Every structure is written in C-alpha cells, then in structure tokens.
Structure 1
Amino acid sequence: MYAEERHRLIVERARAAGRVDVTGLAAEFDVTTETVRRDLTALERQGLLRRVHGGAIPVERLGFEPALSVRASAMTEQKEAIARAALKEVPHDGAILLDAGTTTARLAELIPTDRELTVITNALPIAMMLSARPQLTVYLVGGRVRARTGSAVGEWTRDLLRDTYVDVAFLGTNGISVERGLTTPDTAEAAVKRAMIGAARRVVVLADHTKMSTDHFARFGDLEAVDVIVTDAALDPAVAAGLEEAGPRVVLA
C-alpha cells in the first residue's frame, strides 16, 4: 500500500471513530509503529489530524482551525487543480467576490491578465496580491483582522457586504455535508461567509475532498444556496452524487 492511500485511510478511520492509535494502525496496515508515527506527523502538518498521546484525533473534533501557513502547504496539487477548474466560472468582466483561503488565493493568482474585473475580498493576502494588477479594480472589505486566516470579519465587514452585489462569489469552507451544509470552526468567519452568499448572483465553493462529509461548529449556508462545488478527483463518487442531489453541480478537477 502506498503512503498516500494509507494516509487517506487513516484520516477516514479518525473521522469515523474520533481517534486512531498507533499500535492499532500498525497492526491493520502491517507496518511498523515508526511508520505510523511518521504518517501521523505528515497528516498533522497537512492540518488534518492533531497528534495526541498514543495516536491522533481529527482536527474538526476539537474545533481546531489550522493556521494559514499550515493550510497553505497542505493539498497543494489538489488546490492547484481546483483553482484551474474554477477559472471557468470567472467571468470576463463584471464583479466577483473572493473569500479568504488558500484555494481562493490560488484562484486569484490564476486570474488572466486580459480580464477587467472588479474584485471584492476580505482577505489581506489576496488584496495585496491583486493590487499590482492594473486591469483589476480591487476592493478590500474592512473589519477586524483574524491573524489565523488573514481575513477581515465582524460587523463592519458584514455591513459593507450587505451593500454589495457581485456576479460570482468564490467561497472556501472547512466542511461540507448533505446533512449540515457548509460549516467552519469560527462564528465570525461563518457570519461573513453567510453575507457573501447573500451578496452574489452565483455561488461557487472551492474545497478539496478532505472537506467533504465533515461538519464544524458554525454553519453558514445550505447546499441549495450553492451553484457549483469545485473539488478534486479523489472525491468518492457516492459523496459527489449525494451533493448533487442536494442542489449544486459538482466539478471534479
């Protein structure tokens, strides 16, 4: 079994049971405990698990939100593919909204230089990146800055979004499930994402397959409010079918 497949199964076991232990995984996969410890360390660096004594637990069970630097180095190939697929949803002109996040930031990097767009974002890193593009009109939505995500949140942010209407909003999320919809660990982030949904004609969610069938503390939207989910090809076909039955079109990058 390749390490990538073993990592996927470890995360699945952790999410299903709430915890995995080193000795049990070593016996199941017929590998050494040192191999399992290296696996758990790699998954912790990706922001998927949190190491505890004797094993690991999924970060969502703690309401834990990985730092921006941690998320930026996780699932990089999948995020690149998702961003490229999401480019098809970016209009040639008009206004778009970019949520804070590492996948939406990758999409921002890929916006073609020949498109004259108005871009609204609450993400400081995205605003700084796009401010050097002369063909773009960039608006940074202000508010209280969360260091963990580099995003503006709070009442000021929501007030500005209430007076904004764009063609497409590109959102990130920490969790997506048919039962709970779109979720994230922080209530302030959830409130801003909810306002973004209300500020857009169309809503496109960018999320890799590890976010699917996962729920977090704060809910910010129903799947019925989403037009498109762009994810990577590792998504279970049955999960994809369930999401589409709930409303959005699912694009596998």
Structure 2
Amino acid sequence: MKINRLRKIHELLEEKKSISINDLCDIFEVSKNTIRRDIAELEKNGIIKKVYGGIVLREQETKPVQPEAEVSTAQTDSHKLHKQKIAQMAANLVEDDDVIYIDSGTTTMHMMPYLEDKHNITIVTASIHVINIAADSAKFNIIATGGTIYAPTKAFVGPSVINCLKDYNISKIFLASTGISIEKGATTASPLEYDIKRYLVDNPAKKILMVDSTKLDSASLITFCNLSEIDCIVVDKDLPPKYMDYFSENKTDVIVSEA
C-alpha cells in the first residue's frame, strides 16, 4: 500500500540516513517507476532529497530552518497571535476532570496557558513542547507517551505511542494539521505521525481540529482523516461558504477565534 510504503521509506532513512533506489525496489518488490513516483511525492513535500543513485532525508542535507524564519517580526507576531487565539478558544472546550490528548503542533502547544484555571485536568501527549511547558506547572497531570523523538515536529513517534494511548479513556482530542481541504481532508507531512493521528481519529472521544486560515485549501503528504470525521474545528477567521456548507451538512461545529 502506498501510504505504508511512504512511511516505511521515511523510517528507513531515519535509520540508515541514505538509501539507493535499487535497494528500495528490492525491499518493497516494486518497479523503479513506482519507487520514483514515491520519491517524487516525498521530495515535493520537502521530506527527502535526491542524490546520485538514491535519496537522503532533507534535514540531513540542510540546516534546520526555524518556522517563519524569513517572515518579518510583525508578521511573525501576528501569526503567533492568531495561533494563541485559536488555542484559547480550543481550551474553552476543556472541562474540569477531562482527560485530553494534545497533538504536536505550533498551534496546539499554545493551549497550555489557557488551561491553568481548569481543575484536575489530565493531559496525554507525544509533544515535547507541551511536556516542557506543562512541566513548569503543578496544575496538570501529565502523561508522556514516550517513543522515538521525531526532530522536525519535536514529538514522540512509533508503536509505543499508540500502545500508551490504548491505556487511557480520553475525553477530548485536540488535533493539528499541516493542511486541510474538502477534497483531501486533514493532512500531515509526516508519515511517522500518520498512524498516531489515524488512531486518534478512530477514538470515540470528541475530536477538535485546530488550524489557522493559512492551512485552508492545501494538502501535504498524507491524509489522516476526512473533515467529516471531525466533531469541531477551531479557526482564526470566518471560513469560505463551501467549508461552512460542508461542516453544516456533516454536523461539525465551527468556532472562530476573535483574533
């Protein structure tokens, strides 16, 4: 299956740092044309870089760039403000005694300050950012999933994450996405995080998707759910009519922050 192949290629590169096209053909028992299409998709999404005879992880070739590093300070501050407003509105959905999952992401991590007034909240997370912020407060019960740290998103990945999640009765799940569209649903650029997000979407808990308007009408590498599978979406601006019609038809709540 293509999604499994893309994810496995990513995992192999995490382990081996580089791999040849011939080796990939042997491992997956597919043609070079099939592998080349997979490579083209991974390259398009900035995950790998082609080298002579094979591929390497892009982060191995280039110095990591901080998000929004090339954006002006005013633009960066404005973007951060929008994310904080989304996070504040999402945090309003949390009730005392909730067991919540907070996904990795630059929007979800901003929820933490707005949860300080809640009582007996348990936070389950694979996000290193969330863990670090929560560790400075005695207000929260924190459960870190453990696993292998995936550097680009500063989050734990791997089977141990899902094994951990199976142990807890989560009441609300706060999800992040690198791009959404009606046609492609909610997407992620990380094959290593796909299984975790898919498992969370299949969980009976209430699912809240947090995205800023720059993510609309875009799709990254892998779709982890259809938008109809989301119970609530929190955004920073009024959505275009096609989205409002879609969410109305699918009984999805829409919350617009006051940014």
The TM-score with structure 2 as length reference comes to 0.68
Inter-partner Cα distance in structure 1 for 2:146 and 2:251: 32
Q: Deviations over 1:4-41 (max 9, x none)?
A: xxxxxxxxxxxxxxxxxxxxxxxxxxxxxxxxxxxxxx
Q: 1:68/1:144 Cα in 2 relative to 1: closer, same or farther (>3 Å)? A: farther
Q: Report runs of 4+ in structure 1 exceeding 6 Å deviation.
A: 65-68
Inter-partner Cα distance in structure 2 for 1:61 and 1:216: 11
- Which residues of structure 1 form unaligned runs of 5+? 1-59
Q: 1:155/1:142 Cα in 2 relative to 1: closer, same or farther (>3 Å)? A: same
Alignment of 1:78-89 (within 5 A): 78-89=82-93
Matched residue, 1:218: 222
**1:62 matches 2:40:** no
**1:125 matches 2:107:** no
Q: 1:228/1:114 Cα in 2 relative to 1: closer, same or farther (>3 Å)? A: closer
Matched residue, 1:24: none
Contact 1:92 / 1:117 at 8 angstroms: preserved in 2? yes
Superposition deviation, residue 114 in structure 1: 4.1
Q: 1:180/1:123 Cα in 2 relative to 1: closer, same or farther (>3 Å)? A: same
Residue identity opposite 2:110 in structure 1:
R
Residue identity opposite 1:175 in structure 2:
G
The TM-score with structure 1 as length reference comes to 0.69
Inter-partner Cα distance in structure 2 for 1:252 and 1:61: 34
Inter-partner Cα distance in structure 1 for 2:223 and 2:196: 11
Inter-partner Cα distance in structure 2 for 1:202 and 1:91: 12
**1:169 matches 2:173:** yes
Superposition deviation, residue 144 in structure 1: 1.2
Alignment of 1:135-214 (within 5 A): 135-214=139-218
Residue identity opposite 2:219 in structure 1:
D
Once the two structures are overlaid, the 10-residue window that deviates more, 198-207 or 167-176, is 198-207
Q: 1:228/1:202 Cα in 2 relative to 1: closer, same or farther (>3 Å)? A: same
Matched residue, 2:4: none
Inter-partner Cα distance in structure 2 for 1:204 and 1:158: 19
Superposition deviation, residue 203 in structure 1: 0.4
Inter-partner Cα distance in structure 1 for 2:251 and 2:43: 27
Residue identity opposite 1:120 in structure 2:
V
Contact 1:68 / 1:148 at 8 angstroms: preserved in 2? no
Inter-partner Cα distance in structure 2 for 1:68 and 1:82: 24
Superposition deviation, residue 167 in structure 1: 0.6
Inter-partner Cα distance in structure 1 for 2:96 and 2:65: 29
